[in-house]
Amino acid sequence: MSRALLLLLIDALIPGTLGGMTATESASRTARERARTELTREIKEEARRQLAAHGAQGLSLRAVARELGMVSSALYRYFPSRDELLTALIIDAYDALAAAAETASAGPPDARGRWRAACGAVRDWARAHPHEYALIYGSPVPGYQAPQATVASAVRVARVLGGLLAGASTARDGAGPPLPPVLGEQATTVAEAIAPGVPGPVIVRGLIAWTQLFGMISFELFGQFVGSLDPADEFFGYTVEQMADFAGIT
């Protein structure tokens, strides 16, 4: 019997309870919750293996169930559709990337050092998890529309940038041409989400640098630097410094 099937049996055989619970009932519910949590984790791990082998378009609930020794109808109790499983993987990927960037940027005492650390952490995570990076920053999955549930995790990554820009706003507030009206409105909306109070021009300069960062990482991961800037270590380090200058992060 596979481990996944054993966890499924535990989840199915331990009944839920309503109203007040005895100590035994509480322990049973805890065991059931643990089994569900562990099986959910195993389902997502197998799904990530399929991402690596077949890409997001090839992700199949039936194939995941087969590899775990489950019937597909049992897996549907955890993820009723492929899209719900994709959403869970996307949220996990955003959260993992954000955690890496947040942890790295919390270390250095100066803004420039935090910027370098955050950029390096994003790149390191992407290189260690290329298929999950492709899921959130690569080509859209045909037929899949990311739900609102993914937004909070996606914004976590951008808030690392927002924290750095908050310290850059005073020095660079008046630099650069005025923003076109629509872009100014967009910048205000972005600022409210990631860095309240930071002026629009500072937000836009930061976003230019931030999108350059992810574009550079994507070029590296997807083989666009082969034969030119491969290995990309020195180019990456040089560009990170140039982007910091442009964004006013000193």
CATH of residue 215: 1.10.357.10
Query: In this predicted structure, what is the pLDDT of residue 34?
Result: 86
Considering its fold, how many domains does the chain have in total? 2
Structure-block tokens of residue 231:
């290995």
- Sign, CA dihedral 218-223-225-230, equals positive
Q: Are residues 211 and 105 in the same domain?
A: yes
Query: In this predicted structure, what is the pLDDT of residue 172?
Result: 55
Q: Are residues 176 and 65 in the same domain?
A: no
Where residue 41 falls (left for φ over 0; alpha for ψ -120 to 50; beta otherwise) is: alpha
Q: Please give the full DSSP string across 25-87, using - where no structure is assigned.
A: HHHHHHHHHHHHHHHHHHHHHHHHHHHHHH-GGG--HHHHHHHHT--HHHHTTT-SSHHHHHH
Query: In this predicted structure, what is the pLDDT of residue 250?
Result: 87
Q: Are residues 66 and 93 in the same domain?
A: no
Q: Are residues 14 and 64 in the same domain?
A: yes
From the CB of residue 17, how many other CB atoms can be counted at a distance below 10 Å? 14
Query: In this predicted structure, what is the pLDDT of residue 4?
Result: 62
- Looking at 61, 80, 99, the residue that finishes a domain is 80
Containing structural domain, residue 227 = 83-247
Q: Are residues 48 and 98 in the same domain?
A: no
Look up tokens 């920053």; give the residue.
137
Q: Are residues 105 and 227 in the same domain?
A: yes
As averages over each run of 10 residues, the pLDDT of the chain (250 residues) reads 57 52 58 86 96 93 93 91 97 98 95 96 98 95 94 95 80 69 96 92 94 97 96 98 93
- Looking at 19, 54, 80, the residue that finishes a domain is 80
Q: Are residues 109 and 27 in the same domain?
A: no
Q: Are residues 65 and 100 in the same domain?
A: no
Q: Are residues 76 and 175 in the same domain?
A: no
Q: Are residues 89 and 66 in the same domain?
A: no
